Amino acid sequence: MKLIAKENVRLVAASSPAAGVVEVHEMKMEGDVMKMRALSGGLELPAGKSVELKPGGFHVMLMDLKAPLVKDTSISLTLIFKDSKGVESRMEVKVPVAMTAPGGAAMMDHSQHKM
Ligand SMILES: [Cu+2]
């Protein structure tokens, strides 16, 4: 999923009816180990610049799933942004479920993480 903002905003949160908790995460190699952490300050989206959510980088993590995600279906996700003045805006997106090996999808079930 690629996000291009019209003005400088931050992706501060997300929610989905399919999951109890949705967080924006970052994955980084630290030495030989892939580390994942929640972005506490949100994800910066500079105006006009494409920021990609993808495996091994920034991703949206679904936790506390209400039901197992089914491949080839899609879930709806609400992305919550804040601009430089702190004004909140929301965007609804449909995200296809691509069940793959851990690390293989930008959208992952947290239980797949072995870390
Ligand atoms: Cu994650």
Q: What is the pLDDT of residues 15-55, one digit of tens each?
A: 999 999 999 999 888 898 888 889 988 999 999 999 998 87
Q: What is the pTM of this model?
A: 0.78
Who's near 86: CB < 8 A, 6+ residues apart?
A: none
Ligand 1 centroid to residue 26 C-alpha, Å? 7
> 112 CA to middle of ligand 1, Å?
10
Domain 2-112 falls under CATH 2.170.120.40: no
**pLDDT tens for each residue of 85-104:** 999 999 999 988 865 434 43
- For the chain, the maximum distance between any two Cα atoms, rounded to a whole number of angstroms, is 40
How do the domains of the chain map onto residue ranges? Answer: 2-112
C-beta of residue 14 within 8 angstroms of C-beta of residue 2: no
What's the CA-to-centroid distance between 5 and ligand 1, angstroms?
Answer: 22
